[in-house]
């Protein structure tokens, strides 16, 4: 009882000294008392004669509790209340299952938040390579286990520098392995990332930052930050700044006005040390209440292009993104070990959903750039390329340029073969019943049979030339552009002549449609029905 002494034992009426034999005999037997604080919580106290020997005041290992033994006839225990405020930590349920389980929370093995996928992937694919990032300094390659640990360390580092659950954190950077770690680290500790790339105008980025009520900034590199510094430091409130790539010494720190700046490496070291401490010390975990992130919690804010005035922030929940992760296999039947080439901005909803999905199937993702795309296609020979129509138009233009700059004979042969293959594929669609038409009137049975028979006969005549074209021309094109399984096109309209050309040379393109608001894929052509 606060402010009240507890008198559990009355001694003899005489007043023996603390070290007298009569007093020692009375205390020699182990005593057990229970004191009650103002919250009616019982606290057991165990002590023996050895602890009481000639003591005036005993200090226990329990905070706020002290024993006092006076030479008089009474033994007193004083309880002083020192309330410690517990810090709430939000965790991705499966990713940090151990932490939640320590609070006696029941955690299922079902994905409830996007970062949960990393626990499953690390268990299934462990030492398989997950990401290859050759164009940043330093170049990096990470396995699935390493990627999971980096995400956990980054999330813990953000907690230590003051990011709280449901805070918004601006992530303004281009695609890279560290972008992925930052994105998932922010989500894993229950915060909401606000994403955009480095090519956006400074005023647009400032609008997004302030409109989203972000509390801090994760930025790509020193050059990009220096472009933002003057405007942001005068017109935005930042709790901290995190630099993904490069050295802090290259930053224009004179304009940051005392805002703490952390490098990616510093965040990782803070997080790693803290996680080791929490693992090794049960007492350290007692200062926290662990809560699970829910599927309906907002995971990210993605700002639209702003074609009608300022960009609009789209709130996507973990459930929105998990729906894509669970269902995109019908469009892209990826297998463990497949290689994907990533070039689109990672913050784009289309690229993000596809990346999250493919990492659940044990693929290897290589990051590339517009400048290095041609060489990387040849070098990595990816099974899949997920991109926008402009990329396929660029590949088409490159192939056409190579054909037209060849000798007259080679140009004639290549163009002739391509025309034959285009005609063959059109006829093939007719006799397979896969030809789309705008005519809503169904032709008669006789007309349909004649059309089918005509298409079948002409296709049979063209087929040997089409096979010869594969051997003489198309194999060289395939080796140059890779893409052995499929190219997935979205984010815009795929021109018909591009679609038909790649079909003719044997490169499968699957066109899809979606919206940022639907996170984003709504519809897409299937591999077995790619019409």
Mean per-residue pLDDT pooled into runs of 10, the chain (531 residues): 39 39 39 37 39 41 44 47 70 91 73 97 97 96 98 98 97 96 98 95 95 97 94 93 94 79 97 92 81 96 82 95 97 96 91 96 96 94 96 96 95 97 96 84 89 96 97 94 95 94 97 94 93 87
137 within domain boundaries: yes
Do residues 231 and 92 share a domain? yes
Do residues 281 and 422 share a domain? no
Report the relative pairing of strands 261-263 and 241-243 from DSSP bridges.
parallel
**C-alpha to C-alpha distance for 364 and 376, rounded to whole angstroms:** 14
Instruction: Give the model's pLDDT for residue 109.
Output: 84
For residue 173, give the nearest of 222, 240, 118 by alpha carbon: 222
Dihedral sign, CA of 86, 90, 96, 98? positive
Q: Is 26 helix (H, G, I), strand (E, B) or coil?
A: helix
285 within domain boundaries: yes
CATH number at residue 174: 3.40.50.980
Do residues 407 and 475 share a domain? yes
* Residue 194: strand pairing partners: 170, 301
Q: Is 105 helix (H, G, I), strand (E, B) or coil?
A: coil
Measured between its terminal Cα atoms, the distance across the chain in Å is: 79
**C-alpha to C-alpha distance for 242 and 29, rounded to whole angstroms:** 60
362 within domain boundaries: yes
154 within domain boundaries: yes
Q: Is 77 helix (H, G, I), strand (E, B) or coil?
A: strand
Q: Which residues contact 212 (CB under 8 A, 6 or more apart)?
A: 168, 170, 194, 301, 303, 313
340 within domain boundaries: no
Report the relative pairing of strands 168-172 and 214-219 from DSSP bridges.
parallel
Q: Which residues contact 73 (CB under 8 A, 6 or more apart)?
A: 10, 11, 12, 13, 14, 15
Q: Is the peptide bond before 520 cis (omega within 30 degrees of 0)?
A: yes
Do residues 151 and 236 share a domain? yes
How would you label 16-47 residue by residue, b for 16+ Cβ within 10 Å and e otherwise?
Answer: bebeeeebeebbeeebeeebebeeeeeeebeb
Where are the alpha helices (H) located in 79-143, listed in sequence order? 97-101, 116-125
Report the relative pairing of strands 298-303 and 313-317 from DSSP bridges.
antiparallel
Do residues 302 and 417 share a domain? no
Q: Which residues contact 444 (CB under 8 A, 6 or more apart)?
A: none
239 within domain boundaries: yes
**C-alpha to C-alpha distance for 48 and 51, rounded to whole angstroms:** 6
Task: Output the CA–CA distances (angstroms, integers) from residue 31 to 49, 50, 54, 63, 130, in the order listed.
Answer: 9, 12, 17, 20, 60
**C-alpha to C-alpha distance for 1 and 244, rounded to whole angstroms:** 53
17 within domain boundaries: no
55 within domain boundaries: no
**C-alpha to C-alpha distance for 151 and 241, rounded to whole angstroms:** 18
Measure CA 269 to chain center. 19
DSSP assignment, residue 517? Answer: G
Instruction: Give the model's pLDDT for residue 440.
Output: 79
Do residues 305 and 400 share a domain? no
Do residues 248 and 374 share a domain? no
Q: Is 437 helix (H, G, I), strand (E, B) or coil?
A: coil
Neighbours of 464 (CB within 10 A): 10
**C-alpha to C-alpha distance for 278 and 153, rounded to whole angstroms:** 12
Q: Which residues contact 11 (CB under 8 A, 6 or more apart)?
A: 23, 26, 73, 74, 75
Domain that holds residue 361: 349-436+443-524
Tokens of 269: 């070291």
Q: What are phi and psi of 277, to 5 degrees?
A: -65, -40
Instruction: Give the model's pLDDT for residue 106.
Output: 64
Do residues 497 and 427 share a domain? yes
The count of domains in the chain is 2
Do residues 234 and 369 share a domain? no
Instruction: Give the model's pLDDT for residue 281.
Output: 82
Do residues 416 and 496 share a domain? yes
Do residues 253 and 154 share a domain? yes
Contact 226, 256 (CB under 8 A): no
The full DSSP string for 220-233 is: S-HHHHHHHHHHHH
Tokens of 335: 């297998």
Do residues 377 and 515 share a domain? yes
Predicted TM-score of the model (pTM): 0.81
């Amino acid at each position: 009882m606060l402010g009240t002494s507890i008198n559990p034992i009355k001694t003899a009426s005489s007043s023996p000294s603390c070290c007298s034999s009569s007093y020692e005999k009375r205390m020699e037997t182990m005593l057990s008392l229970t004191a009650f604080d103002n919250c009616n919580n019982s606290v057991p106290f165990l002590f023996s004669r050895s602890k009481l020997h000639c003591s005036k005041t005993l200090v226990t290992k329990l905070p706020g509790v002290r024993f006092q033994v006076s030479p008089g006839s009474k033994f007193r225990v004083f309880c002083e209340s020192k309330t410690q405020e517990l810090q709430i930590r939000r965790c991705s349920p499966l990713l940090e299952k151990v932490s939640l389980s320590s609070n006696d929370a029941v955690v299922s093995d079902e994905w409830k938040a996007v970062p949960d996928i990393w626990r499953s992937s690390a268990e299934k694919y462990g030492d398989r390579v997950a990401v290859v990032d050759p164009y940043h300094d330093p170049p990096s390659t990470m396995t699935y286990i390493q990627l999971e640990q980096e995400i956990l360390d980054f999330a813990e580092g953000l907690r230590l520098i003051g990011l709280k659950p449901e805070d918004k954190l601006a992530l303004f950077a281009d695609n890279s392995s560290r972008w992925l770690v930052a994105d998932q680290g922010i989500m894993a500790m229950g915060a909401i990332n606000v994403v955009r790339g480095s090519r956006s105008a400074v005023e647009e980025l400032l609008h997004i930052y302030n409109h989203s009520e972000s509390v801090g900034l994760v930025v790509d590199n020193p050059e990009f930050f220096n472009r933002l510094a003057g405007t942001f430091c005068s017109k935005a409130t930042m709790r901290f700044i995190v630099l993904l790539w490069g050295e802090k010494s290259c930053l224009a720190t004179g304009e940051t006005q005392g805002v703490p700046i952390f490098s990616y490496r510093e965040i990782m070291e803070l997080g790693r040390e803290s996680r080791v401490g929490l693992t090794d010390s049960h007492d350290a975990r007692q200062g926290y209440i662990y809560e699970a992130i829910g599927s309906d919690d907002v995971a990210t804010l993605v700002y639209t292009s702003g074609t009608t005035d300022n960009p609009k922030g789209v709130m996507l929940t973990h459930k929105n993104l998990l729906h894509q992760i669970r269902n995109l296999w019908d469009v892209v039947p990826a297998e463990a070990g497949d290689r994907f080439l990533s070039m689109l901005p990672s913050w784009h909803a289309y690229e993000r959903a596809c990346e999250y999905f493919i990492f659940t199937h044990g693929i290897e993702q290589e990051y590339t750039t517009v400048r290095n795309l041609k060489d990387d296609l040849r070098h990595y020979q990816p099974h899949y390329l997920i991109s926008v129509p402009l990329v396929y138009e660029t590949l088409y233009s490159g192939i056409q340029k190579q054909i037209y700059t060849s000798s007259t004979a080679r140009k004639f042969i290549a163009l002739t073969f391509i025309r034959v293959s285009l005609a063959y594929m059109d006829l093939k669609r007719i006799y397979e019943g896969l030809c789309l038409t705008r005519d809503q009137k169904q032709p008669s049975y006789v007309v349909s049979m004649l059309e089918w028979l005509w298409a079948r006969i002409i296709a049979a005549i063209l087929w040997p030339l089409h096979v010869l074209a594969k051997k003489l021309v198309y194999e060289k094109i395939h080796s140059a552009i890779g893409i052995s399984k499929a190219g997935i096109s979205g984010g815009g309209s795929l021109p018909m002549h591009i679609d038909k050309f790649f079909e003719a040379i044997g490169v499968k393109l699957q066109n899809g449609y979606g919206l940022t608001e639907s996170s984003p894929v709504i519809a897409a052509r299937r591999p077995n029905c790619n019409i």
